[in-house]
Every structure is written in structure tokens, then in C-alpha cells.
Structure 1
Amino acid sequence: MSKLTDIKDDFAVNSHTEIQGLDDAISGHLAFTEHARAIPNRLLEPKGWIPSKLYSNFIQSKTLYRKHDAAHDAKIALWLAKAKEQAKQFYIAHQAMPEFTGISKAELSEIAKLSIDENILQELPEILAFKGIILIYLPALEGTKADGATFLLSDKLPVIVHSIRYPRMDNFWFTLLHELAHLCLHFNNLDEPIVDDMEDEQHVLKDIEIQADRLAKTSFVSKVEWRTATVKNTSKGDDIYTFAQQMQVHPSIIAGLVRASRSRYDLFSDIVNKVNPRTLLKLL
């Protein structure tokens, strides 16, 4: 049996790790129904999300993610289910995708440098497919606090889903590198999906999130370069652009790092808001 046929068969019925016996199937269906009923139709209908068609892609909400409330968890569950549906479609359309064998810290730095080209966002899914990684752009439902997520499709194919929660390039690239950092550092932790809210006050308390944050940051600017960088204390936009050119990354990323390091999110708003990734990806 070919790899593609094997994957298609796996898609036709839920994998053995998701449904194990009739009791589990019934409890899974009841849980999904409860989630779906918690979400107003006004949020689902404009997106064309049909809960009954997402059931086979349902990922139960037992994730490495701090619980909020039933309505929020329901939205996360449906978002992940939709992402899984799109990931399957992407895989079937990319039969030549290689098996994922890992991604190195050096490769993360190379990907960070792609940020210079603002038009690269549309090409990133194809670029990452060559590494055996599926990248899905999927805005989350209204009121959902999720920047991105990482999970395995059919127990072996890594999927990154990017919500493009904020219309800023610094947030786009930090979220992407954070999720890639999970693949680099925590691939063996992906028995359950990892859903990330970058503004969660408990986000930094988790070891895997601390590690992913650090690797994402050093993928843009190394520890040595950042330690000696005078741009950290600047108030001049020209300094941001100059340092970004030296680091070969998008200027909004440097502006974002400076804002975060100083907890001054009023700084350089013109730079971080200059380019809207949602517009570039035609997701408005």
C-alpha cells in the first residue's frame, strides 16, 4: 500500500489513537456536540464552518493549554477541527511531501531571514512543505485567544496552524517561529496539540513555552548580538531599520523585540503597523 493510500485510509476513519471502541466513539461524539452547541451560529455561518462535517476531524480539547471557559474551549476545539480538515486537504494535494525528520535551530534562523520579503507569506506553506511541515493559515473564531497551534496529523505529520490574530508583521513572525520552535524542541510532546496564547499571563510559566519563546527570539537575533545591541534603548525609527538590515530580518520584528524588552508598547507603532499580514494573505 502506498503512503498516500495509507494516509487516505487513515483519513476515512479516525486513527486508532483518537477513537478506541464504541464507548469512546459515543463519548467523543457527545463531547463534540456539546462544544458545537456552545458556539453561536452567527460565528460559524459566515465562515462556512459546518460542525457536522467537522466531527471526523474533531480534536478533543485535552491540550497543553490553560483552560478558560466552556465557550472558549469550544471555539478552540472547532478551530483545531477545521485546521485538521484543511491540513488533510493540503497533504492530499502535496503527495510528494517528504517525511518530517526534524528542523534545526540553524534552519529556524534561515526561515527568520525570509521575513525581509513581505510577499513570502503566501509562499511559506510551500516552502515548509519541503521540510515535511504543513502550515495552515486559519483565523480563529471571534473572541478566541489563540495565536497559533502545533499538532500531529495521523500521528506523524506536523501541522502548524496560524490564526494571524493581530494584523502586525512582528506578531506574525514571532508566532510562526514560536510554533516552529516547538517542532524543533518538543516534537515528542505532540501527543496532544499545543495551543499558544502569547498574551496569556501563565504562558511564560510553562517550561516548553519559555523554551519556544527563547528559541524564537534568538532565531531573529542571537543572544550575543542582542546583548550588545544599542538599538534596545533607541527612540529613533532609523535605528530600527538599520539594525534590521544588519540582522537581515523585517524591521517590525526588531521594533517588536525592542517594545517587548522595554515593556513600551507605545513605541514604534508606525513600524509594527505598517504592513498588515492579513491583507498580504487576502484574509480580510
Structure 2
Amino acid sequence: MTSYIASETHFDFAPRPGRLLQRELDARSISQAQLAARTGLSPKHINLVIKGTASLSPDVAVTLEQVLGTPAEVWLRLEAAHQAEQARGEKRAAMAGFAEWAAAFPRQILVDRGVIDRADTGPALASKLLTFFGVASPDAYKKTWLEPQASYKRSQHHAIDANLTALWIRLSELRAADYLPQAAAFDSDLLRSAAQLIPKLTVKTIGKAFQQARDLLLNAGVVLVFVPEIPGTRISGVSRWINGTPMVAVTSRYNSLDSLWFTILHEIAHVLLHPKRSTFVDDGHKADDDADSQEVAANTFAQQHLIPPPHGDRLATITTVQGIRLLAEELGVSPGIVAGQWAFRTQTWGGPIAKLRDRVDLVDALS
């Protein structure tokens, strides 16, 4: 006789296996007592399975296969799907208690960044946020995303929003995931070579230069991504190891190209010089920031790659736009790079030389 179950194994919902077992028995005109006699199971156990009070175990599934001809795998798939749906229901109920936690995040930012839909509220909002961060509960979110921030190397000059910092870093990780399959095994020598080549890219348009920088870093086993700044984070860049692969992520906080290239080199320095610390979050280029020796080292690395040491002393003596252009041509870099370093070293942020610093809408150019 054709099995009722075998001919209907795909469902748009997760029915209770016992419900389908009863239909199978009805189709064959077999009573629960008769099934108990055939299987050697007690009538009470058969009744509990049909009611869903007892789960349908592998032993019972194999026994039903022998007696009814329905493969044990079908029964077990039904049982697993039913249990999973029950667990989802319990989780949905728990989400109602997480709604207050989810409401602490700025809603418009979540919508703008595609984390949630505009219609998401309450439990649905909480569920999407937890899924986005890859955690099961607000407590797990705190342990995974907030508590580690205490160990991040970053400026303490400004108050920051820890939730928004976590949001931006997670967005960066997801963006980096698009490139991780293309990344070679990490090679510090190749990364040092890439750092030497990056300043030469600054004479090109930013879109083309950024793509070439990304390719250089992928070849060295590092993923470079751009993720627009989230207000309240004050992040200019981050270096972070993801499953053994370093990521360098930069933002649109400073819409000057010299700052962007400085940040990229600064984060490369952290990858090379401080690999034991998994995450550096940077919000500027103050070499004396908290007198942090690791930040000083990363700043020095970036400065010396943009303006090599033999030219550093000469830079501070330049007083004209023409002098900046001549040094830039000699180094093979953009005049904006030299002007930016000159402004930093002389602390002169206005005037004709400062106007050489190229400014661009990075969100428009790189997103």
C-alpha cells in the first residue's frame, strides 16, 4: 500500500509528526492499539507520540519504517523540523523581552545602513539586530561586541557611542566578507612592499587608486574596505583580524585624500607592528594621543612612507606652494599628500599650501 507520508514529505509548515502518523493510520484503517501490537511499543507511548507529548525517537522511526514502510529519515526530518519550529516560536516569544534593548540603537541609522526595514519594530527589530550581530541575546551582544571595546586601542579624547562603534565594525566585517575569498595567505613581507607602493597611487583618481591599493593588500593577505562613517563613532579607520585574516577598514570621517591615505598606512602599521592586539580603532592622527607608544609607532610608519626620512626635515622648511609641488613631483606623490604632511608638521591648517589638500566626497567616490 502506498504510504501517505512518503507521497507528501514537503510542507510549507512544520506539522507535528504524530499528527501525520495518525493520518497514516487512518489511511490504512489501523488503530493505535493495532500499531502498538505490530511495533511492540506500548499503546500509551504510541498515543504520546501521536499527541506530540513524546518525541519521535530514531528507534521509533526505524520501527515505523519496518512496519509502515515509510523511511525512518522522513519521520526524523519531520520531528527535527517540528522541534526547530517550536524552538523558533519560543525564541520569537523571548524577542518581546529584547525590544527595549533594540530600541537603544538609532533607528534611522539602522534603516539607512540596511540593517532593518522601516516597518520593523519590537520583537522583529530585536531579532534582526541580533542576527546582524551574529548573537543570540543582548547579553551575548554585550559580551561579544561591547566588553571587548575596553581593550581597543583608540583615542580617549572624545566620548563615543559603544553601540554605534559595534555597528560600524560589524558593517566593516560584512563588507570585508565579500573580499575574504580573494585574499591570499597573510605575508608580512608583501604587506611591507605594498606599503611602499601605496603613496605612488595618490597621483591617480581616488576610485582607481583605492581599487589598486585593495588589490595590493589582497595579494598580501589583507582585506581593505571603505564603510561610510556613522556619526557618534569618530572612527577614521580600524585594523582587525577576522578568522586569521587582517582587515583594514576606513571611513569618510575626513574628506581629505591625504587623511585617507595616512589612515590606510596607519592601519597597515598596526597589522605589521602589533599583530598580537586584535583590534585598533583610530579616530585621528595625534601622535601624542594618550602617549600611546603603539599609536606613535603607527603614525611614524605612515608619515615616513608618505614622506621618506631624507625629505622630512626639508618639508618643514618649505614656505610656498611651488615648493610643495616640487617635492611632490620628486617623490612621485600627490601634492595634496605633501601639503597634508606639511600642515600636520607645521600645524598650519589654512593658507595657500593647505588649499592643495584634495577634498572629495568619499561616500560618493568609494561606496
TM-score bracket for this pair, using the shorter chain length: 0.7 to 0.9
Match of 1:47? 113
Amino acid at match of 1:39: F
Is contact 1:39–1:74 with CA below 8 Å preserved after alignment? Answer: yes
| Counterpart residue number, 2:212 | 123
Match of 1:164 in 2: 252
Q: TM-score, normalised by structure 1?
A: 0.76
Amino acid at match of 1:219: H
TM-fit CA distance, 1:40: 1.3
Conserved? CA contact 1:133–1:160, under 8 Å: yes
Whether 1:87 and 2:87 are equivalent positions in the alignment is no
Aligned length: 243
**Contact 1:150–1:161 (Cα < 8 Å) also in 2:** yes
Q: 2:115 is paired with a residue of what secondary structure?
A: coil
* Corresponding residue of 2:358: 273
Give the 3 Å change call, closer, same or farther, for CA 224–164 of structure 1 in structure 2: same
Counterparts of residues 123-272 of structure 1 (less than 5 Å): 123-154=212-243, 156-190=244-278, 193-198=279-284, 203=289, 205-227=291-313, 229=314, 231-267=315-351, 268-272=353-357
- C-alpha spacing 1:242/1:113, structure 2 compared with 1 (3 Å): same
CA spacing shift, 1:86–1:260, aligned 2, 3 Å? same
User: Structure 1 residues 36 and 272, CA, compared in 2 at 3 Å: closer, same or farther?
Assistant: farther
Distance 2:292 2:99 in 1: 31
- Aligned partners of 1:240 and 1:225: how far apart in 2? 12
> Which position in structure 2 is the counterpart of 1:19?
none
How far does residue 157 in structure 1 lie from its aligned partner after superposition?
Answer: 0.4
Extract unaligned runs of 5+ from structure 2.
1-94, 117-128, 136-143
Sort the Cα spacing of 1:269 and 1:187 in 2 relative to 1 into closer, same or farther, 3 A: same
Per chain length, whose mean CA-contact separation is higher, i.e. which structure has more relative contact order (CA < 8 Å, sep 6+)?
1
Q: Deviations over 1:44-79 (max 9, x none)?
A: 21121243332218644332234554x611111111
Aligned CA-pair RMSD: 2.7
Once residues 277 and 252 of structure 1 are traced to their aligned partners in structure 2, the CA distance between those partners, rounded to angstroms, is: 15
Q: For 1:34 and 1:82, how far apart are their aligned partners in 2?
A: 22
Please identify the structure whose Cα radius of gyration is greater.
2
Paired amino acid for 2:195: L
The residue aligned with 1:10 is: none
Q: For the structure 1 residues 121 and 33, does the alpha-carbon distance in structure 2 shift closer, same or farther, using more than 3 Å as the test?
A: farther
The 8 Å contact of residues 257 and 337 in structure 2, kept in 1 or not, is answered as yes
Question: In the alignment, is the contact (CA less than 8 A) between 2:172 and 2:225 conserved in 1?
Answer: yes
Q: Distance in 2 between matches of 1:121 and 1:249?
A: 14
For 1:40 and 1:236, the matched residues in 2 are separated by 46
Summarize the Cα distance change of 1:80–1:270 in structure 2 as closer, same or farther, 3 Å threshold: same
TM-superposition CA deviations, 1:115-169 (whole Å, max 9, x none): 2222312332233111110111001212321100011101x10001111211111
Cα pair 1:105 1:219 within 8 Å, conserved? no
Q: CA deviation at 1:106?
A: 4.8
CA distance in 1, matches of 2:176, 2:246: 10
